[in-house]
A and B are shown apart, each in its own frame.
Chain A
Amino acid sequence: MRAFEYLRASDVHHAVATAAAGQEAAYLAGGTTQVDLMKDGVLGPDVLIDITRLPLRGVVPDGGAVRVGALTTMAELAADPLVSRRLPVVSESLLLAASPQLRNMATVAGNLLQRTRCRYYRDLSCACNKRQPGSGCGALEGHHRMHAILGTSQHCIATHASDLAVALVALGAAVRVRGVNGERTVPLTQFYLPPGDTPDVENTLGRGELITAVEVPLLPEGARSGYLKVRDRASYEFALASAAVALVITDGVIRDARVALGGLATVPWRSHAAEDALRGAAAAPGTFAAAAEAALSGASPRPGNAFKVELGRRTVVRALSTVAGRQA
C-alpha cells in the first residue's frame, strides 16, 4: 500500500476543506472498497481523511421522505422499521448484498460510491480506461460474463455493482452533497455518469465534495415494492441481473410503476420505458413481458454476456409478478 497522511476529520467543514485543498485526498468511511483498492494499488491517495466520527448517521422521517445520514451503515438502514415497512425494496436490496460483516462496516454513501468489481479495473497489469484513461479496455475482448449490456461504450463495459443504488434510483432518491462552495442536492439519476469517452469520471462529484445524506421519497401508501437479485450463488455474490420494482395497483390496473435494473448496466439503470409499458395496463403476465422487452430494448451485449439479455427480461418479469402478488 502506498503511504498516505492520515487525518481524522473533526467536522464536515474541516473534512471538505481538507479534501479540496492541494494534495490528492480520499475519504475513508467503512473502508470496504477504499482499503481493499488501496491494498491492491488501484487507489493511492496522498491524504486519507477519516470521516467515520462525523455526525452523519441515522435515519429520520422528513415529510414524505426519509433522510439517511451518509455514514449510516447498510445493516442499520436495512433494520430501520420505517424503511422496511414503507420501502421493502430498499431493505431487501441491502440484505441481499455483501455479507453481515461487510454490511456492518459499509456506509450508505460509500455503497453508492463503490467501485466496479471488473477484474480488469482491479488488476494493475491489465488495460483499463477507468483506472488509467487511454490505456484501453481489457474486458471488451476478454472475460466479460459479468459485464454490462446497457449504458456501455466502446471504452468501458464495467458494471455498477451496488444493489442499494438500484433501489434508490427506482425511488427517485437524491444525494445531499457538501463542497467548499456550499450544499446541493443531486437526483441519483443525474449523479451517475455512463462511461462514454471518460469512464474514469463516474459521477458529478466535484473536487473535495462529500455526500452528507441521501433523501429517499416514501412510496405512496398502498404501493408494493421488492428487489430480485439473480446470481451465481445463493448468497454473498454480485448480481448477474437484478430488478427493483414498485407498483401501485387498484382494481387490477397498474396506476404507477417504478423499475430499475442492476447487474446489467454501467450505472444504476432506471427504465422509464418499462414504467411506461406498465402504467395504465392490467397487472397481468402480458404486461410484464412487454415491460421487460422495453427494459432491455437498448441492450448491446458482447459474446460472453449475450445471455444477460434474456436473463434480464426474465428477471424483470419475475420481479414484477412477485411484487404484484404481494399484499399492498
Chain B
Amino acid sequence: MGRGDSSAPLREDSPAVARALPVRLRVNGVLRELRLDARVTLLDALRERLGLTGTKKGCDQGACGACTVLADGRRVLSCLTLAVTCEDRDITTIEGLGSEGAPHPVQRAFIACDAFQCGFCTPGQILSAVALLAEGRAGSDAEIREFMSGNICRCGAYPNIVAAIRAAAGEAGRAGV
C-alpha cells in the first residue's frame, strides 16, 4: 500500500529528533518496560519488541480488525494506537486469553464451530468476540453480525464465527457469567 513502515529509516528533513521514550506497558498482566520511538504503534511494539506475534497486522490502517486487542478491557485497534499513549493501561492480547491446555471459552467455541480457515484474522475475531460478550451484544445473530462488523474475514468464515459466538454466549449464560 506504499505506507511507511515504522521500522523505515527517518526522513532526513524530519524536524524533530526521534528519540526513544521510556514506556511502561502492562501486557497480559506483566509489566514491560520499553524504550520506544513515539511513532511506534502498539501493534508493532507487541509484535516486534515483545515477540507477541499473535496480534496480526492486516491492513495497518484501522479497516480490518486483525490487530484488535483489549485496552483496559475495551476492544481497540492496536495499529492506530501509539504505544506511548498506552502507559499504565492494561493490554490483553490473544496470548493472554488462555493457554494451550486451557483455552478461553471463546477459543474453544471457535475450534468446536470451525470458525476459521486460514486463521490470520482469528486472534482479532476472538478478542473482538470476547469484548462483544462482555458488552452484552450477543442477543441475536443479527446483533452479533453488527457488532462483529469491524473484523473482516477474507476467507468468509462468517457463518461459523457467528455460530461460535452464539455457542460461547450460550455457555456463558449456562455458567451464569
A residues neighboring B (CB under 8 Å): 1-6, 23, 28, 31-32, 35-36, 38-41, 46-48, 50, 52, 75, 98-102, 104-105, 234-236
Question: Which residues of chain B come closer than 8 Å to A23, judged between CB atoms?
Answer: 15
Interface residue B165 (Cβ < 8 Å from any Cβ of A): no
Cβ B146 vs Cβ A39 within 8 A? no
Q: Which residues of B contact A39 (CB under 8 A)?
A: 3-4, 60-61
Q: Considering the chains assembled together, what is the distance between the CA atoms of A240 and B145 in angstroms?
A: 21
- How many interface contacts (CB-CB < 8 Å) are there between A and B? 94
Measured between C-beta atoms, what is the minimum distance from B170 to chain A in Å?
A: 21
Which residue of B41, B68, B74, B75 contacts A35 across the interface (Cβ within 8 Å)? B41
Contact A31 B81 (CB under 8 A): yes
Query: Which residues in chain B, 52-86, are within 8 Å of chain A measured between CB atoms?
Result: 60-62, 65, 68, 74-77, 80-82, 84-85
B-side contacts of A47, CB under 8 Å = 16
Which of B65, B81, B84, B149 sits near A6, CB closer than 8 Å?
B84
Contacts known (A1-B39, A3-B17, A101-B150); A52 close to B85, Cβ less than 8 A: yes
Taking a contact as CB atoms under 8 Å apart, the answer to whether B61 and A6 are in contact is: no
CB distance from A228 to the nearest CB of B (A): 16
**In the complex, B10 has a CB within 8 A of chain A:** yes
Could you tell me the distance between the alpha carbons of A300 and B144 in the complex, rounded to whole angstroms?
40
Query: B38 touches which one: A6, A98, A100, A105 (CB < 8 A)?
Result: A6
Note all chain B residues with C-beta closer than 8 A to A36: 61-62, 80
Residues in A with CB closer than 8 Å to B84 are 6, 50
Taking a contact as CB atoms closer than 8 A, the residue among B10, B16, B60 that contacts A5 in the complex is: B16
Task: Choose from A1, A4, A98 the contact partner of B4 (Cβ within 8 Å).
Answer: A1
Residues of B within 8 A of A101 (CB): 65, 68, 75-77, 128, 150
State the CA gap A36–B151 with chains docked (Å).
Answer: 18
Closest Cβ–Cβ distance, residue B142 to chain A (whole Å): 10
What 1/0 mask marks residues of chain B from 154 to 168 whose CB sits below 8 Å from any chain A CB?
Answer: 000000000000000
Interface flag for B135 (CB, 8 Å)? yes
B120: Cβ under 8 A from any A Cβ: no
Q: How far is the CA of A38 from the CA of B18 in the complex (A)?
A: 15
Report Cα–Cα, A99/B147, bound state, in Å.
Answer: 7
Q: Which residues 1-33 of B have a CB within 8 angstroms of A?
A: 3-4, 6, 10-11, 14-18, 21
- Pick from A5, A31, A35, A99: contact of B149, CB under 8 Å: A99
Write the nearest CB–CB distance from A104 to chain B, whole angstroms. Answer: 4
Please list 15 pairs of residues, one from A and one from B, whose beta carbons are closer than 8 Å in the complex, sorted by A's number.
A2-B11, A3-B11, A3-B16, A5-B38, A35-B41, A36-B62, A39-B4, A40-B3, A41-B4, A50-B84, A99-B151, A102-B150, A105-B81, A234-B149, A235-B146
Name the A residues within 8 Å of B39 (CB-CB): 1, 3-4, 38
Q: Are B77 and A100 in contact (CB under 8 A)?
A: no
When distances are taken between beta carbons in the complex, the residues of chain B under 8 Å from A1 are 4, 6, 39
Name the residue of chain A whose CB is nearest to the CB of B37: A3
| Distance in Å: Cβ of B131 to nearest Cβ of chain A | 7
Note all chain A residues with C-beta closer than 8 A to B16. 3-5, 46-47
CB nearest to B72 among chain A residues: A104
Knowing A5-B16, A48-B38, A100-B135, the reply to whether A28 touches B85 (Cβ < 8 A) is yes
| Binary contact track B112-140/A, C-beta < 8 Å → 1, others 0 | 00000000000000001001100101000
State the CA gap A252–B77 with chains docked (Å). Answer: 47
Q: Given A3-B15, A105-B77, 11 other A-B contacts at CB below 8 A? A: A1-B39, A3-B10, A6-B82, A31-B81, A35-B81, A36-B80, A39-B4, A39-B61, A98-B150, A100-B135, A101-B68
User: Considering the chains assembled together, what is the distance between the CA atoms of A98 and B75 in angstroms?
Assistant: 13
- Which residue of chain B has the shortest Cβ distance to A124 in the bound complex? B2
The residue from B3, B38, B82, B137 contacting A31, defined by CB atoms under 8 A apart:
B82
Q: How far is the CB of A78 from chain B (nearest CB, A)?
A: 11
* Distance to closest chain A CB from B15 (angstroms): 5
Q: Are A102 and B77 in contact (CB under 8 A)?
A: yes
Partner of A99, one of B15, B18, B150: B150
- Give the Cβ gap from A195 to chain B, nearest Cβ, in Å: 25
Residues of B within 8 A of A102 (CB): 62, 77, 150
What is the distance, in angstroms, from A46's C-beta to the closest C-beta of chain B? Answer: 5
> In the complex, A313→B38 CA distance in Å?
47
- Inter-chain CA distance A289–B99, complex, in Å, is 60
**Min CB gap A111→B, angstroms:** 14
Closest A residue, CB atoms, query B146: A235
Chain A residues positioned under 8 Å from B77 (CB to CB): 32, 101-102, 105
In contact, B85 and A50 (Cβ under 8 angstroms): yes
